[in-house]
Amino acid sequence: MNETKGQPVFFGGRHYLVLFVLLCLMTGLVGRALYLQIVEKEFLASQGGQRQIRTIETPAYRGAILDRYGTPLAISTPVDSVWVNPSEILQNLPALKKVTQQLSMNYSETVDTLKRKANKEFVYLKRQIEPELASRVSDNVDGVYIQREYHRYYPAGEVVGHLVGFTDIDDNGIEGLEKVYDNWLKAEAGARRVIRNRKGAVIEEINQVKAAQSGKDIYSSIDMRLQYIAYRSLARAINYHAAKSGSAVLLDARTGEVLAMVNQPSYNPNQAKQKTSGNRRNRALTDVFEPGSTIKPFTFAAAIDKGLYNQKSIIDTSPGWYTVSGHPIKDYRNYGPLDLAGILRKSSNVGASRIALSMKDEELWRSFSDYGFGKPPGVIFPGESSGYFRHFSDWQKLDHAIMGYGYGVSVSITQLARAYAMIANQGQHVDVSLIRKEPGKKVENQVERHVMSSKTAKMVLEMMEEVVGPKGTAQLAAIAGYRIGGKTGTTKKSTVGGYDEDNYFSVFAGVAPISDPRLVMAVIVDEPTQNGYYGGKVAAPVFQEVMSNALRILDVKPDDIPSLRAQIADAEKGA
């Protein structure tokens, strides 16, 4: 527009050009809108759906570990984990600060971590917390979400810690039965397609992509009633004798099932800070020791099976010592002539070594090998030890002699219990198991293997009964109403260059009842420093307390009625 004689003048061409440009823009916008609404409608709808549809994980339970009657030892409980989308939450730092405060996290460190992972869409903030707290933290906060998971919980705590072990935060078995049977217990998460709103909440289920599969349960052989009793009794003994450590194993003599297995010190698998390698070691299966006099019944059994001795055989142990290869073998005192039962009752090293030397070294080695020494108990457990048992070709005469009373060979307390179960089971080999066996079910093609004659086993049992009798070394193992057989052991601990004269293993292994053996138990206490150190005074009382309760709980019929009547009479007199 210009002015001519004071009047405005339009430039028509420029005006129409502007109108034309505006018309073109409007036509383009309308055309684009029509194109998107008609031609690209299905494509854009699909793309929009994809930006809302997500494939999310469907969690599943890990299988439970139960005792033989279904009491839970390890179960999974629902928990929630809090996660964030860094690109979203970093746009709202005040909200993030509030979230970190609620989760007791360091705000500055959290921000730095999220900035480093800003290219990711999923970052855990805190895992496995109470669902109520997770819900409260994520409520109405864009970029903060929760995911359902399962946390492993152990109701019995340290009482079964060494057996069940524990899992890591991703539910993978790390120790114990959790590790051994991880593939059996492990759950397989599922997947499903859902529609989420902008806050991440699921507003519609579309379909299931993969079904979730929970893990399978395991019934262990453990009887929690007996496990609690054994744990309490062993802990009390360790405290009373100010000992370093200890273990106890209770077996069903007929099936080889482990009814109780306890250790001290223990740990609580629910508390991560206590999961130190020393405390979580299952000493009953991993730690070995020289069994001392508890091996003497097997020396006698090997010689009897070879036809070298019988119950009437007499061995002169005078004068209470003798020398082998320049090394003195001694008894506590001179016991003179003794029959086999007397040698076992008095725990004569002289008598036991003479019996061992009466056999060829290969004969003794082969018999001990058949009894399970030098072989793992077979329970399939992390760190399970096979002990130490040298081949006879490496023996010297002294090795042969001291082998007869339990030196030069090392075993775990579970190996020792298995060997005694073999005697209790009429000389038949017993497979030890931490998993419940089906009653009355025989494994296909299973071969019953006798490693000792039933006659010899019966003879040895009767000898062991005298050890618990009034003149034996294990009187504190006696149980009124039941015939009990067993053997004590008190061995010096080996050190570099010899044996420590001041530190001992106190051991007892026994069978009940003698007339029809049902249970076997072996106990070891490492380095008792107060109130005695002999096996008959330290380990035998643990056996007595646990076994007496086990016989009552399992309703095992008494086989020594006279002693039971005598106890009742004494109680009435005292009253």
Catalytic site positions? 293
Report helix, strand or coil for 450: strand
What whole-number distance in Å separates Cα of residue 474 and Cα of residue 510? 10
Report helix, strand or coil for 422: helix
What whole-number distance in Å separates Cα of residue 50 and Cα of residue 33? 22
What whole-number distance in Å separates Cα of residue 514 and Cα of residue 560? 10
What whole-number distance in Å separates Cα of residue 534 and Cα of residue 525? 10
Burial class (CB in 10 A: 0-12, 13-18, 19+), 108: exposed
Residues in the chain: 575
| Residue 253 · residue 351 · CB < 8 Å | no
Q: Which of 304, 514, 547 is nearest to 426 (CA)?
A: 514
Strand order in the sheet with 258-264: 258-264, 245-252, 519-526, 498-512, 485-495
DSSP state string for 7-43: EEE--HHHHHHHHHHHHHHHHHHHHHHHIIIIISHHH
Q: Which of 343, 345, 390, 384 is nearest to 364 (CA)?
A: 390
Burial class (CB in 10 A: 0-12, 13-18, 19+), 104: exposed
What whole-number distance in Å separates Cα of residue 517 and Cα of residue 550? 13
Angle at 530 between CA 528 and CA 536, to 5 degrees: 60
Report helix, strand or coil for 267: coil
What whole-number distance in Å separates Cα of residue 248 and Cα of residue 416? 11
Q: Which of 248, 249, 229 is nearest to 434 (CA)?
A: 249
Residue 258 belongs to what H/E stretch? Answer: strand 258-264
Report helix, strand or coil for 126: strand
Question: What residues contact 297, with CB distance under 8 A and at least 6 apart?
Answer: 344, 420, 423, 460, 463, 464, 487
Q: Which of 33, 36, 3, 279 is nearest to 165 (CA)?
A: 279
